[in-house]
Amino acid sequence: MSQKDSKILKQSGVIPYRVRNGKIEVLLITTRNRQDWVVPKGGISNGMSPPESAAKEAWEEAGVIGQVETQEIGIYKYRKRGNIYQVRMFLLPVENVLEDYPEANQRKRQWLDVPQAIRCVRKSSLKRMLKTLKNQAM
Tell which phi-psi region holds residue 125, choosing left (phi > 0), alpha (psi between -120 and 50) or beta. Answer: alpha
**Looking at residue 67, what is its pLDDT?**
98
**Integer Cα distance of 41 and 21 in angstroms:** 28
CATH of the domain at 117: 3.90.79.10
**Looking at residue 108, what is its pLDDT?**
96
Task: Give the structural domain span for 55.
Answer: 8-137
Query: Are 122 and 36 in contact, with CB atoms under 8 Å apart?
Result: yes
Q: Name the stretches of the chain with pLDDT < 50.
A: 1-3
Query: Are 116 and 62 in contact, with CB atoms under 8 Å apart?
Result: no
- Whether 52 maps to a domain, the answer reads yes
Q: Which residues pair with 9 in a beta bridge?
A: 85
Q: What is the pTM of this model?
A: 0.89
> What is the tally of structural domains in the chain?
1
**Integer Cα distance of 47 and 60 in angstroms:** 18
- Whether 103 maps to a domain, the answer reads yes
- Whether 119 maps to a domain, the answer reads yes
- Whether 132 maps to a domain, the answer reads yes
- Whether 60 maps to a domain, the answer reads yes
